[in-house]
Structure 1
Amino acid sequence: MGNLKTKELTQIGYTDNKQRSLAVNMIAKHFKHYSKAEAINLLTSIPLQPDSFLNNEITGKIAETFISNIHEAISTSYELKDQHAPLNIFGEADIEPSAIKQMELALKLPISLQGALMPDAHSGYGLPIGGVLAAKNAVIPYGVGMDIGCRMALSIIDADERFLNRYAHQIKQAINDHTHFGIDGGLTTSQDHEVLDSPQFHQTPLLKKLHGKAVKQLGSSGSGNHFVEFGLMEIYECNALGLPPKQYLALLSHSGSRGLGANIARHYTQIAMETCKLPREAQPLAWLDLDTEAGQEYWLSMNLAGDYAKACHDRIHANLLKALGLKALAKVENHHNFAWKDILANGTEAIIHRKGATPAHVGELGIIPGSMATPAYLVMGKGNDSALYSASHGAGRAMSRKEARESTTGSAVKKMLADAGVTLIGGSLEENPLAYKNIETVIAAQQQLIEVQGKFYPRIVRMDKE
């Protein structure tokens, strides 16, 4: 393993001589069999989650130097309300009871004002996926989720099916060259975006430490259900984009804020759980009051992660369109793991958490995908206040990832994709089409919430491999 340099250690958060000396000595004594990348990965984890390393006799001394004063903050205990706040459920017949119970529990928090479940809802950690929660002057990190700012982006392109058929090989090559999937790593070519120069990266010690990771991962995508795909977009008449109603080539992407968002989520969830004490079954719903320093830090960090997620999509779309000599006629994008300040129908100010839900105010455009072999929908919100101005974020899982792996085979998935006219690059059994609810049923269950503007049919799909 090559020697760790002072600059490298400083970039990952080892800002004083004591920390750097402890790090170098620990690696040399206990982890000399590690590659340099493995050593840096270990050392990066310690300042981000010092509590996890504190009781280990090897890493404990370093972890102690990163323990902040959050443990000195006053913790407050709260009881749950006897009755849950109002809840509206859309597509209830296809939502598992455990997801409804999770939502009802969340609505017993003293800060909860109103809730809604979207028709793609299923159980999650903290809030269910597809859960929308309005809270009073507080934000729940697990109500936003680990992948802060996870979002959709759709470019409608000045080309049609003839281009797709004629240049399928070039499209596949471009996707291979200009996308990267997985938890670690990034694109091989250096990426630039104004978000990297945001002064918010200098606002907190955590954001300063994460800037290097953000630079490295810009323009890349995560694992699981994240994707980049080319397909055909059918635009309907009287659409809000003002485009002629016909079929277009389109590029659709789904991913979030990468390691930046995940580390922000872990850090502030830990603070929330230490300062907001709840009954055991509700502890993952610990919140941060927005009038506190931690609450303000999370809000700033969450918004930066959202901007960064958008920047990743910006680079994906710009790189692919440039490589193929294509031009976008219109672009539609939306977050679906985020919290927003908003006004409820009764005039109350609230923080609306959408954990796997699409914003759907009056006239607001969004994208609701199905699966790797089923359509995605371009929709416009109707501003339904009983749904907290929200819609579903996808078809929603019908199986757990384990069930999806065990319920089918690679050859069966290949047949499904062939029947749908889809070419898959990468992908996994966990994301097979049968793992998801029927997107047509999910869309039909939310006619009160959205108006369909068009339909996207995937043709060339890239996802993280098994």
Structure 2
Amino acid sequence: MDSLLYNLLRTYMGSLRIKELSKIGYTNDRARSLVINTISKHFKHHTKEELITLLTGIKEKPEQYVNDEVLGKIASTFIEKEEVTHHKEFTLLEQTGRLKIYGGKEIEHAAKKQMEIAMSLPVTVQGALMPDAHTGYGLPIGGVLATDNAVIPYAVGVDIGCRMSLSIFDEGESFIKRYGYQMKVALKEWTHFGMEGGLEVEQEHPVLDDPAFQATDLLKKLQSKAARQLGSSGSGNHFVEFGMIRLSEDNSLGLPAKEYVALLSHSGSRGLGANIAMHYTKIAMDTCKLPREAQQLAWLDMNSEAGQEYWLSMQLAGDYAKACHDRIHINMAKALGLERLITIENHHNFAWEEILDDGRKVIVHRKGATPAHKGEPGIIPGSMTTAAYLVTGKGVDQSLFSASHGAGRMMSRKRARESMTVSALKKMLADAGVTLIGGSVEENPLAYKDIETVIAAQQELVTVEGRFLPRIVRMYKE
């Protein structure tokens, strides 16, 4: 069930609509979800008429198909069975799988303990902890976990598809000096921060017409809110900022090694992802019973109805998060008359189906971790006054082909608020030559680990190809 499958899904659904499935009797979410996954994988080259004939036959005579390896699950939805609520109880393993920790001296004990618990799950195959790690819900932020045919909603995270996006423009330092005021205006007018609301101008993107929004009752309910929030950024440590990036010699982008104006954004899937996460975490915890210390790591079997629905919903949330960044970067470039040379982007709260070096197929959860397969580009930010790094992965199996997703918090929000004054933050910003629009002391630079130390701790995982320094930063004002 990788992203390619879902791209094929969308191609297929272009000819056969959800409405047409309803007309031939496919009216419940489970049947539709199974059809979407099965047809897109096994029947993508069939015509609409052939598909309708096949699906009608399954509905009318399901007993003839129920033992079919490919179509049996669809057929079973039309055979009446006594409804039974199933749950299974699991114990944690004493002997755990392989865990590799990077930059362990800078990682708090509580985060390591969380990772150890995750490693003791019966479905866990391998794990890694990145140097920016700190405690989270279930899996620590910076935790990477490979599982066998199981997906853990809380190992993906609440903000599904939270990601980075970096656009590089063919302009130099002089552009910021000449048009700094206009850049501030654009950030104020064309970004929106906060839990609710969105941009004043209605935003458009193909993701809003994705047929996956019609696949389950939950997604149907969330579509209108997703439309309202498209192109917005949320709160907390999310940001949109302009700055300067210096690219290294012989960088993989094929661009000259010099300084460029760049736009960097960090945000996720807004209310869409949060609602999906909460809904399927509850299902997982109701059906997968674990000892108290591991309850938040309850999983969904990838062969189950809930597992398939979550996977489809997670993919949609990831696509939606990307669409939000698309709109942010399109709006900023248009407002300032800039043309992008290239955009680099990556998820860091997501799950992927991947193959390990030993050939095993696993589900790799990256909760606050950047994919770093060999040659894969990624962005690792610091704080509002420190550098972000453009990197390419080295494809290290021990790290599950991953790197850190940022500097990582060193202080809780409460402690950061208590240890920094507004005037002290303003002085730090002035010393760094950074203008902050919005923001709060909770996100002050001292609340984070030193990005240079974090990057140094993962030299075997990534190659640095560029160094970005922020100049004008927009964040949520608490």
1:397 equivalent in alignment to 2:409: yes
Counterpart-to-counterpart distance in 2, 1:172 and 1:72: 58
Counterpart pick for 2:259 among 230, 240, 247:
247
The residue number in structure 1 matching 2:29 is none
TM-score (structure 2 length as normaliser): 0.82
2:184 alignment partner, SS class: helix
| Corresponding residue for residue 422 of structure 2 | 410
Aligned residue type for 1:396: G
After superposition, the C-alpha distances for 1:29-76 in whole angstroms (9 at most, x for unaligned) are xxxxxxxxxxxxxxxxxxxxxxxxxxxxxxxxxxxxxxxxxx953010
Aligned to 2:366: 354
2:126 is matched with 114
Aligned alpha-carbon RMSD (Å): 0.7
1:324 aligns with 2:358: no
Partners of 1:106 and 1:344 in 2: CA distance: 19
In structure 1, the residue matched to 2:388 is: 376
Match of 2:455 among 397, 420, 443: 443
Q: CA deviation at 1:318?
A: 0.1
Contact 1:84 1:105 in 2 (8 A): no
Match of 1:280 among 281, 292, 301: 292
Runs of 5+ unmatched residues, structure 1: 1-70
Cα distance in 2, alignment partners of residues 457 and 73 from structure 1: 54
Alignment map for 1:1-400 (pairs within 5 Å): 73-400=85-412
Equivalent of 2:466, from 454, 461, 464?
A: 454
Runs of 4+ in 1 over 6 A off after TM superposition: none
Cα separation, 1, equivalents of 2:426 and 2:392: 33
Give CA deviations for 1:155-206 in whole Å, capped at 9, x if unaligned. 0011111010111100000000000001100000000000001010000000
Output the CA distance in 2 between the equivalents of 1:134 and 1:168. 45
Counterpart of 1:144, as a letter, is: V
Give the share of equivalent positions with the same residue, in percent: 69
Structure 1 residue 324: deviation in Å? 0.3
What amino acid is aligned across from residue 324 of structure 2 in structure 1?
C
In structure 2, distance between residues paired with 1:266 and 1:92: 31
- Provide, for residues 91-113 of structure 1, a one-character-per-residue CA deviation record: whole Å limited to 9, x for no partner: 00100011111001001000000
CA distance in 1 between partners of 2:102 and 2:234 (Å):
29
Residue in 2 aligned with 1:15? none
Q: Counterparts of 1:447 and 1:433 in 2: how far apart (Å)? A: 23
Relative to structure 1, the CA distance from residue 74 to residue 424 in structure 2 (aligned partners, 3 Å threshold; closer, same or farther) is same
* TM-aligned CA deviation for residue 85 of structure 1: 1.4
Letter in 1 for 2:218: L
State the shift of 1:345 in Å: 1.6
Aligned to 1:30: none
Q: Could you tell me how far 1:442 is from its partner in structure 2? A: 0.1
Amino acid at match of 1:268: Y
SS in 1 for 2:240: strand
CA distance in 2, matches of 1:73, 1:173: 55
Q: Distance in 1 between matches of 2:90 and 2:277?
A: 22
User: Hey, what's the Cα distance between the residues in 2 that align with 1:78 and 1:237?
Assistant: 52
What TM-score do you get using the length of structure 1 for normalisation?
Answer: 0.84
Distance 2:148 2:429 in 1: 46
Q: Is the 8 A contact 1:148 1:338 kept in 2?
A: yes
* Whole-angstrom CA distance in 2 between matches of 1:86 and 1:409: 43
Deviation, 1:346, is 1.3
Partner Cα separation in structure 1 for residue 117 and residue 280 of structure 2: 21
Distance in 1 separating the partners of 2:444 and 2:177: 24
Matching residue's letter, 1:275: T
Aligned residues: 396
Match of 2:418, as an amino acid?
A: E
